[in-house]
Amino acid sequence: MSVRLAVFASGGGSNLQALLDRFAGTSHVTPALVVSDRADAGALRRATVAGVKALHIPVAGRPEHMVGDDMLSALRDCDIELIALAGYLRLVPPRVVEPYRGRILNIHPALLPAFGGAGMYGRRVHEAVIAAGCRITGATVHYVDERYDEGSIIAQWPVPVLREDTAETLAARVLRIEHRLYPAVVDMLARRIADGPAADDTTTRLEVFRLGAADAGMADEMITLARI
Ligand code: GRF
C-alpha cells in the first residue's frame, strides 16, 4: 500500500523538492498533492514539473473555515493520509488539523522550542540565533497542532553556528540538513501508517527519530558536525 502525501508550501519549495526526489518511483509513498497560499510559489512549479497535482488555495482576506473546507475537499479528493508542511507560512485551520492529528508534520529551521512561534520564519530565525550567541542550532520536525511550532517534536538535528556566520550562510547549512532529515522522518511515518493504526501514536516519535536517522546515514554526520 502506498501512503499518499500532500505537501503545503508558500515559497521556493526546496524541502518539497527533497521529498519529491526521495519518493519518486518508490512504492510506499506517493506525493499526490501540493498546496500553496501563493499562486506564484516556486513549490507549485516544482509540483507541476514532477507531475503532481498543484493547487493554489488563497488565504488572505478569506474566512478560515472556507480555507479549511477547500483544503479538506482537496485532501479527500486526493486520498491524502499524510501532510508535510514545508515552508507553509499560514496557520493550518483547526478543521484540517483535527482529522489529520498525528498525520501533519512541519519542519522548522531551529531547535524548537527555541526560536519558534508566530513571525519566526525565514532569515529572522537565523538572525535571532546569531544575535543570541548560540553555538548550536539545527532543524526540528514536529507534529502540527493549532498553534505555530508547538506540536510535539519528532526529530531534531544539530548544526553548528560558526563565528563568521551570517543569516544566509547559517540558513544554507541548516537547509542542507533539512533536506536529509525531512524525507527520513516522512519515510518512517509513512511506513508506520502503512503498518496500521499504531501509526497515530505520537509516543512513537523517539523510535521514528532513531530509525529515520539511521536510515539516512546520519549518525556519522552528527559527529562530524559536532566536531567543527
Ligand atoms: C525551511 O527553512 C523550513 O524549515 C521552513 O521554511 C523553509 C522553507 O524552505 N519551515 P523551502 O521553501 O523548502 O526552500
H helix runs in 64-204, sequence order: 64-77, 94-97, 123-131, 167-195
Q: Is the pTM of this model over 0.85?
A: yes
Report pLDDT digits (tens) over 10-30. Answer: 999 999 999 999 999 999 999
Nearest residue (by CA) to ligand 1, atom 6, is 87
CA–CA dist 8, 35 (Å, integer): 5
Give the number of the atom of ligand 1 that is nearest the alpha carbon of residue 139: 4
Residues in CB range of 133: below 8 A, 6 or more apart = none
Confirm if 160 and 225 have CB atoms less than 8 A apart: yes
In the beta sheet, which residues pair with residue 23? Answer: none
Give the number of the atom of ligand 1 that is nearest the alpha carbon of residue 106: 10
Residue 170 has pLDDT above 90, yes or no: yes
Nearest residue (by CA) to ligand 1, atom 5, is 87
Q: Which residue has the cell 526521495?
A: 22
Which pLDDT value is given to residue 141? 95
Confirm if 161 and 129 have CB atoms less than 8 A apart: yes
Report pLDDT digits (tens) over 114-145. Answer: 999 999 999 999 999 999 999 999 999 999 99
